[in-house]
C-alpha cells in the first residue's frame, strides 16, 4: 500500500514520465515482497500450529 501511495505522490509532483522511470528502478522489489510475505505466512502458520498443539495436549490430559 505504501508503494502505491509513494508512486501516486511521485506522479502528482513530477509527471508520468518520471513515474515510469521510477517504476523501472524498482527491479527486485517484487521478489523481496514475495519473500517477506512467505516469511509472514510461515510465522503465522507456526503460531497456529503451536496453539493447536498446545490445546490438543491440554485436552488430552483431561481424557480418563
pLDDT in tens, 18-41: 555 655 666 667 788 899 999 999
What confidence category does residue 59 fall into, taking pLDDT thresholds of 50, 70 and 90?
A: very high
At residue 21, the pLDDT reads 61
Rounded mean pLDDT, 41-63: 94
Angstrom distance (rounded) from CA 22 to CA 12: 13
Q: What integer best gives the mean pLDDT of the chain?
A: 80
Q: Which of 10-19, 37-46, 53-62 has the lowest mean pLDDT?
A: 10-19
Question: Which residue ranges make up each domain of the chain?
Answer: 2-60
SS (H, E, C) 25-51: CCCCHHHHHHHHHHHHHHHHHHHHHHH
Amino acid at each position: 500500500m505504501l508503494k502505491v501511495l509513494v508512486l501516486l505522490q511521485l506522479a502528482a509532483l513530477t509527471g508520468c514520465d518520471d513515474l515510469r522511470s521510477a517504476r523501472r528502478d524498482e527491479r527486485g522489489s517484487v521478489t523481496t515482497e514475495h519473500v517477506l510475505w512467505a516469511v509472514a505466512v510461515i510465522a503465522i502458520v507456526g503460531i497456529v500450529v503451536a496453539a493447536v498443539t498446545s490445546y490438543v495436549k491440554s485436552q488430552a490430559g483431561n481424557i480418563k
